[in-house]
Amino acid sequence: MRPVNNPPNPWQSTHVAWIDAPPPAQMRVYEEDARSILSYNNSSDLGFSWSINPYRGCFHGCAYCYARPTHQYLDFGAGTDFERKLIVKRNAASLLTQAFEKKSWKGERVVLSGNTDCYQPLELNWGLTRSLLSVCAAFRNPVGIITKSAIIQRDVDILQDLHRHAAVQVYISIPFLDRSMSRRIEPGAPSPSKRLQTVQVLAEAGIPVGIALAPIIPGLNDDQIIPILEAAADAGANSAFRSLVHFPEPVDEIFLETLEDAYPDRVDKVRNALREMRRGALTDERIGERFNGHGARWDLIAQIFDKTCERLGIFHRRNEKSSFAQAQTPDTFRRPGAQMELF
């Protein structure tokens, strides 16, 4: 990796109207020539096998983000380093092209992103996600996207192309409808209203778009489930999935410290509710259990989510495992320039 001494300021952009004012964070950006771009997972609680993360770290700075510990593999911290020391995989698109050209690639769905947000503010300057989507469109490879960012509106043209010739499903993450709460817990992310506007723009463009009510944090945002789903339905969301907050170490410490500063009266409520749902623990690291809860309170949350989706006509999934399984991945993949069958 090499540092970029004076990275372009993403807030000095013609697209700045798509996102809110930034929190007070000084960035240090590093460019990386990655060795590979496709990440494979065989986890039973994720709904996809292949993902792409064009950026490491995330300026959104969500206190609950389960990707924070990945920064420690780079000798960075999981706290402010994760939010301020950001890494750009500048050769991402060329690596994806190379991967798709291999005979072993069969055209499976790829998801942007598995960890950090592929549309965080760095995207305004580096454009890696748009380049990756362009590669997927050229190869007609199905795509899934999970993001909090309104920057995705810029790429409506490519998303429409993917929808016509392959498949695309977008999920906008909206765990809070309360703007003040969102700003305190997700300080660098767009406001809930911006995210709902993004749902509407994508839906009106004919792009399949749903919401991720993730994470659900009992004692903090579980009372917002119904209004979030109602607002999403009004905006045109066609699907939704949910997941219980997941705290790999040291995310639990980071989140609880943030919550103590923002809502000190809720810390014990949240802690006790999570322990009730996780048999005495704040989190459960076991695959298949990480994003789910147990007990009467979690069952009630699940019932509220399911019944509200049914009332609103939203196709709903119980967790991220099935979020991209609404339809089997279509066999649309083809290599540009390859001889096409005559019909």
- Give me the chain's average pLDDT, please: 89
Total tally of structural domains belonging to the chain: 1
Q: In this structure, is residue 1 part of a structural domain?
A: no
Domain assignment present for 332: no
For residue 145, pLDDT beyond 80: yes
Domain that holds residue 39: 25-322
The predicted structure's pLDDT at residue 343 = 31
Residues 218-241 have a mean pLDDT of 97
Per-residue confidence (pLDDT) for residue 6, from 0 to 100: 43
Where residue 213 falls among pLDDT bands split at 50, 70, 90?
Answer: very high
pLDDT at residue 9, rounded to an integer: 47
Rounded Cα distance between 256 and 262, Å, is: 10
- pLDDT tens, position by position, 281-340: 888 888 778 888 999 999 999 999 999 999 999 987 655 445 665 456 779 999 997 544
Q: Which residues contact 248 (CB under 8 A, 6 or more apart)?
A: 66, 68, 69, 283, 285
pLDDT at residue 284, rounded to an integer: 85
Confidence at residue 17, expressed as pLDDT on a 0 to 100 scale = 41
pLDDT beyond 60 at 12: no
Query: Which letter does DSSP use for residue 154 in this model?
Result: G
Supply the pLDDT for residue 319.
52
Q: Please check whether residue 334 lies inside any domain of the structure.
A: no
Residue 5 lies in a domain: no
201 assigned to some structural domain: yes
Q: Say which CATH number the domain at 284 has.
A: 3.80.30.30
With CA atoms as reference, report the closest residue to 53 among 113, 105, 127, 6.
Answer: 113
Residue 333 lies in a domain: no
Q: Give phi and psi for 263, each to the nearest 5.
A: -140, 70
SS3 of 303, please?
Answer: helix
Residue 8 has pLDDT above 80, yes or no: no
User: Is the pLDDT assigned to residue 1 strictly greater than 90?
Assistant: no
Is position 193 within any domain? yes
Q: How confident is the model at residue 16 (pLDDT cuts 50, 70, 90)?
A: very low
* 3-state secondary structure (DSSP) of residue 54: coil
The verdict on residue 62 lying in a domain is yes
Residue pLDDT, tens place only, 96-116: 999 999 999 999 999 998 889
- Distance of alpha carbon 265 from alpha carbon 279, whole angstroms: 23
Composition of the chain by helix, strand, coil, percent to 5: 40, 15, 45
